[in-house]
Structure 1
Amino acid sequence: MLELVIFDADGVLFDSTESNTAYYNAIFARVGEPPMSPMEEKAGVFMSAPQVFDLRTAGDQERIERMREVARTMDATPFFHLLRPFPNLRPFLLELKRRYRIGLATNRSATIPAIIDYLGLTGVFNAVASVRDKVKPKPAPDILELCLKRAGVAPPYAVYVGDSETDRVASEAAQLNFIGVGARVDHQNLITRLDELPAALERLFGSGVQSS
């Protein structure tokens, strides 16, 4: 029986393409780099910041360190207004929480507590894990495994909801059930919009348990 639904953040709970692009372009401008390419903009949705910097520089450690130094001192909150959350996100999650525990596992790092607060999601999640916990980013399974540990739930009783191949690979490595959202991920369990999730959970797992 399903006990825990773990969500990715970017691309699932909100569209962050515009916000992430503006954030990274601000960093790149400070170090004399050109703006993100279309490919980098897409990657910025599911990659951690170090992964984005590595992609941009092809592993050039000197350039990466300059970007990291700017990122360490740059306030990301001015870019939050460009986030596009799923409509009625808090009520949607709270309704889901009547049946399941709710987790969040994301490649975001220092920004995730502020984003949770900005989106009005404080108190919604039973467990949160991110790169800020000093674990490897997805596609490694570490973030998902940490979220499971914090929720006290074994992999067979949990599902990860993600929007990218990175999410799918991480989910498989953590031996988690998986549901894909949108067109960027290929999986047998696929929904096009987040509001299709409750029906998909019922179809795949049956009735949930009362959350605690």
Structure 2
Amino acid sequence: MDTAGIKAVVFDCDGVMFDTAQANRKFYNEILANFNKPSLDDEQFENIHMMTVKAAVEYLFPEMDEHRPVYEMITTIGYASVIPLMLMEPGLIELLDAIKLAGWVRGVATNRTNTMGSVLIEHKLKKSFDIIVTASDVANPKPFPDQLEKIMGAYALLPRQIVFIGDSIFDKKAAEAAGTWFIAFKQPGLKAHAHAVSMGEVGELLKLRKYNS
């Protein structure tokens, strides 16, 4: 991966910025329980991890022609109660500071929708990013490239001036379609330009001064 021309680093949220396993399981299991359905199995969890809420609802409730009752339940339960269960990845803030020091754009491209703002506020990260693009900000969520293309457009960047850090096949496909660099985070089996298991390793891959002094 050639970092010489990098001008922006973009993060996926779930599985990269945060370990959201406990939070997401609790949230969706509570919804399923209210409709007398069993808790998520591992395959279901892996799939909804990549999806928008709409796609997750359609996937978990295929027998329903009308999903309005599910969305009403989601509104009643609310995601806010599980946001504190999201565990920030160690070293994230230090990496974001180093990216800022390099003069690069710090972005988020996530298939979350209206919960991303609350996540950033709860974890005191609102001022740590220059641009946030959620599934509700584009016509097509990941695996389509729309989110990364929106960031390119906002800063007049070329694809190879962006590094996208993700952990799912949706992230990989979005980066591939957009033509950006892709770092797979904690997913050694995912095809990528580079792999990392910590924020420190990401910093080393990006050749940031803090990590290569």
Q: Are the counterparts in 2 of residues 14 and 86 from structure 1 also a CA contact under 8 Å?
A: yes
User: Is the Cα contact below 8 Å between 2:138 and 2:146 reproduced in 1?
Assistant: no
Return the match for 2:85 from 82, 85, 97. Answer: 82
Looking at structure 2, the residues matched to 190 and 11 of structure 1 have their Cα atoms a distance apart, in angstroms, of 14
31-40 or 76-85, which moves further after superposition? 31-40
Which has the larger displacement, 108-117 or 69-78? 69-78
Per-residue deviation, residues 127-170 of structure 1 (Å, max 9, x unmatched):
11001325322111112222222334222211111011110001
Specify the alignment match of 1:97 in structure 2.
100
User: Is the deviation greater in 146-155 or in 75-84?
Assistant: 146-155
Q: Is the 8 A contact 1:47 1:107 kept in 2?
A: yes
Contact 1:17–1:44 (Cα < 8 Å) also in 2: no
For residue 171 of structure 2, what is the aligned residue in structure 1?
Answer: 167
For 1:1-212, list aligned pairs within 5 A. Answer: 1-58=5-62, 60-62=64-66, 64-99=67-102, 100-183=104-187, 185-202=190-207
1:85 deviation in Å?
A: 0.7
Distance (whole Å) between structure 1 residues aligned to residue 164 and residue 90 of structure 2: 20
Kindly indicate whether the alpha-carbon contact (under 8 Å) linking 1:14 and 1:85 is maintained by their aligned counterparts in 2: yes
Q: How much does 1:54 deviate?
A: 2.1
How well do the aligned residues superpose, as a CA RMSD in angstroms? 2.0
User: 1:1-27: per-residue Cα shift (whole Å, max 9, x none)?
Assistant: 110001101100110011011111122
TM-score (norm: length of structure 1): 0.87
Deviating 4+ runs (over 4 angstroms): none
Give distance in 1, aligned partners of 2:105 and 2:163: 11
Q: Mean alpha-carbon deviation: is it higher for 142-151 or for 98-107?
A: 142-151
1:74–1:154 Cα change, 3 Å: farther
Tell me, in whole angstroms, the C-alpha distance in 2 between the residues paired with 1:84 and 1:162: 16
Name the amino acid aligned to 2:58.
Answer: D
Provide the secondary structure at the position in 2 that maps to 1:61.
coil
* Shift, 1:114, TM fit: 0.5
Residue by residue, what CA displacement relative to the aligned partner does 1:159-185 show, whole Å, maximum 9, x if unpaired? 111011110001111121111111262
Tell me the secondary structure at the aligned position of residue 26 of structure 2: helix
- Per the normalisation by structure 2, the TM-score is 0.87
Which deviates more, 67-76 or 122-131? Answer: 67-76
Partners in 2 of 1:91 and 1:193 — Cα distance?
12
Tell me which amino acid in the other structure corresponds to 1:137: P
Unaligned runs of 5+ in 1: none
State, as a whole percentage, how many aligned pairs show the same letter: 26
